[in-house]
Structure 1
Amino acid sequence: MKQWTGWGVAGGAAGVLVLLVGMPVAASGRLPDRLATHWSAGSGGPDGSMPLWAATLFPALIWAVLVAGVVLGRRFAGPGGGWVAATLAGAGVGLAGGQAALVRANLDRADWRQAGSVTAWLVGVAVAAVLAALGGALAGRRGEAGAQPPATGPRMEIPDGERLVWLSRESNPWLRLTSAVLGLVAVAGALSALAGLADAAVWGLVASTGSAALAVLLCSSVRARVTGDGLEVAFGPLGLPVRRWAARDIESARTENRTPSRAGGWGYRINGLGTTVMLRGGECLVIRAKGRDFAVSVNDAERGAALLNSVAGRRGQG
């Protein structure tokens, strides 16, 4: 899990770097030799500039230093995925949005002094950066909590008056990588359109790839939880959406070995077997509720099925 978390940071960092450098390079033929990079707080007009190469590399250098600092801080400070994700998500959105605003303001201007205003853009970018940081913090904290291995021990029995909880989490790094690539394409298209580098037709590509990225992301990880109330299965890094089955509706629970080919592919699949959340081949927790089967590929499925059968049996007797 730590290995793939490292790859996720590397992939996200590389994606932001590509956007920071790629936007001004792609628009270089429509930009002046020097770009307006600072605006007066009073008049709102440009009052500072940089050569094109400096305006391209300076934010990229800031991003590289920030990523290096976060990685070193994570290594020496120990666990703390929430602040890592919040810092990188917020700063990445802020820098990429700021670069898009800068390119748009200077686009098709003969001289940097003619650059347009960026005030409204920067307000929007600041809001987006704060929301990205909050989302990253929530996702990071949920990821750390879900990464804890399930407790080991003898086969459980539930004494009268006690409540036990079983929790297991599984993720597919390849689905996450696919989601990240699709998301990067969507972000690049959106920033290109907002910066004036592409026409309105690109929004169709943004909508399709963005929707696909979200759908794949939601199917890339899952958390299964059994309590006295029944089974809860949460999807995606934020644990949303959530499917729930009340204990009284569960007829039985078992384990079953399933493969992607048998389930019909990866992710959320519906076929003759019922519904399968397929993140890796092998043992799955399978429940039968209201005459239908639902399977999810998680670790320690046998223990979860045993507890679920005990809980459902108690509710049936009650």
Structure 2
Amino acid sequence: MADETNNENSKGSSRREFLKGGLYAAGGAVAATAVMNMGSKDEGSSEPAAPAVATNEPIVLKMQTAWGGGNIWNDFAREYVDRVHSMSGGRIQIDLLPSGAVVKAFQVMDAVSDGVLDIGHDVPVYWYGKNKAASLFGTGPVWGGNANNMMSWWYAGGGRELYRELTQDIMGMNVVGAFGFPMPSQPFGWFKDDDVTSVNDIQGLKYRTVGLAADLLQEMGMSVAQLPGGEIVPAMERGVIDAFEFNNPSSDSDFGAQDVAKNYYLGSYHQASESFEWLFNRDMLESL
């Protein structure tokens, strides 16, 4: 009887560890297929086979992104949600919400830490105001590597441990983070005027950016506003800003960047590499 009880406890523990590991690792799975070994694939299918888990009531989690309803990045978040559902055999279901459904874009980390949200999808630079070391994970200076190299550093070079030390030990946040979907180097952005030909021409220009670039460009003479994506076009229309960068032509055109500025400057340096971030409430993750 004791052996049977121990076996049942072991099975329950293994199942919980699988669910917790799958929830965390799915963020990397969509960016690196190496984590697919958490479940075997059906022959002829690119999707991992649904694992055998107990047929209990599904675990329903609330996840909010930092992106407006029509933004392409919500599609990335949806891919993560679908992958978790597949890898857990339907045991974990995630209710995906756009920015503003529960909290504003820059409040996602706080909401996850406080348990208002179970999961958040954003970028580290959106909590730069809490600790400027966030720039190490997205808006740091050019360092010779691309975003894929950054992902390697995160998962295999000590980046994840440094991130945990920053967010948990130093900032005291009740979160666990994961990275996925690395991004290429980003352009300087969209400008109303076409007369920016030298560094002198940016003096006094009202410009939207985030992170370390905001401090740097402020020192260079720009008037910098740190705004989430959903507030950029209204700010341009009201004259609050004269120019902005967000990410890339695809994502920017989704919210109408081309309708408020006709000049697009490439080849910048302010975000040489960046990755999306998943934030998990630590208590929720450890309870699985």
- TM normalised by structure 1 equals 0.24
Which structure has greater helix proportion?
A: 1
Which structure has greater strand proportion?
A: 1
Which structure has more RCO (C-alpha within 8 Å, separation ≥ 6)?
Answer: 2
Higher Cα Rg, which structure: 1
- TM normalised by structure 2 equals 0.26
